[in-house]
Amino acid sequence: MAEGPYTLPDLAYDFAALEPHMSAQVLELHHDKHHAAYVKGANTALEALSEARANDDFSDITKLQKDLAFHVSGHILHSLFWENLSPDGGGKPEGELAEQIDKDFGGFDRFQSHMKEAAATVQGSGWALATWEPAAQRIIVQQVYDHQGNHGQGSVPLLAFDAWEHAYYLQYKNVKADFFEALWNIVDWNDVAGKLTAARD
């Protein structure tokens, strides 16, 4: 089985640390099973493409390229999602991040409304992302399908809300809007601010 270069990152907190907003059962399954599957899938796709080159046999290339985009993006977004969350999260952004959000969205409340609505209205599986868009030098909200569709090239994710059913269904059932409301209690704004600084620089 393919090993590396992608690896499942450890969480910086315990499975129960984000309760009651995210249950320990949901977090453990999400990290240990779902995220782990994307890591494995990304490594497998890279390995299969390497074999295709070695054998000069590209008959499966369209499937493999789709697998690569899906699994690599799934791995990257889940890694980001875990970093964005903290048992000490919540509150509001401060400093340059708060100023950027005010400038680009007309206030934090409007930014929150946009993110929540983008997450809650994903058709099928997907994500709401707040990303740094370097060409316009601003933050935009994106509604991503699966892990990779509908994403503007070059845009750097800062904050991710997972809108797949596996992210909430065991805990919130069909009321997914409550999950996206609860997430604000555990967003680590210091992490998001650090990602903004890194993306801008």
- Give the residues lining the site for Mn ion (CB under 5 A): 162, 164, 167
Q: Which two tokens stand for residue 20?
A: 């009651």
Minimum CB separation from Mn ion for residue 30, in Å? 6
Which residue's structure tokens are 């977004």?
77
Minimum CB separation from Mn ion for residue 78, in Å? 6
Of the candidates 158, 160, 176, the one whose C-alpha atom is nearest the C-alpha of residue 168 is 176
Choose between 27 and 167: whose C-beta lies nearer to Mn ion.
167
Of the candidates 21, 132, 12, the one whose C-alpha atom is nearest the C-alpha of residue 82 is 12
Q: Which two tokens stand for residue 134?
A: 């370097």
Residue 58: CB atoms within 10 A of its CB come to: 12
Minimum CB separation from Mn ion for residue 164, in Å? 5
Choose between 76 and 199: whose C-beta lies nearer to Mn ion.
76
Choose between 2 and 36: whose C-beta lies nearer to Mn ion.
36
Is residue 19 a contact partner of residue 10, using CB atoms and an 8 Å limit? no
Number of H helices, E strands in the chain: 8, 3
Secondary element (H or E) of residue 138? strand 138-145
Choose between 162 and 191: whose C-beta lies nearer to Mn ion.
162
* Residue least distant from Mn ion (Cβ): 162
Choose between 97 and 122: whose C-beta lies nearer to Mn ion.
122
Minimum CB separation from Mn ion for residue 22, in Å? 11
Angstrom distance (rounded) from CA 145 to CA 123: 8
Minimum CB separation from Mn ion for residue 96, in Å? 29
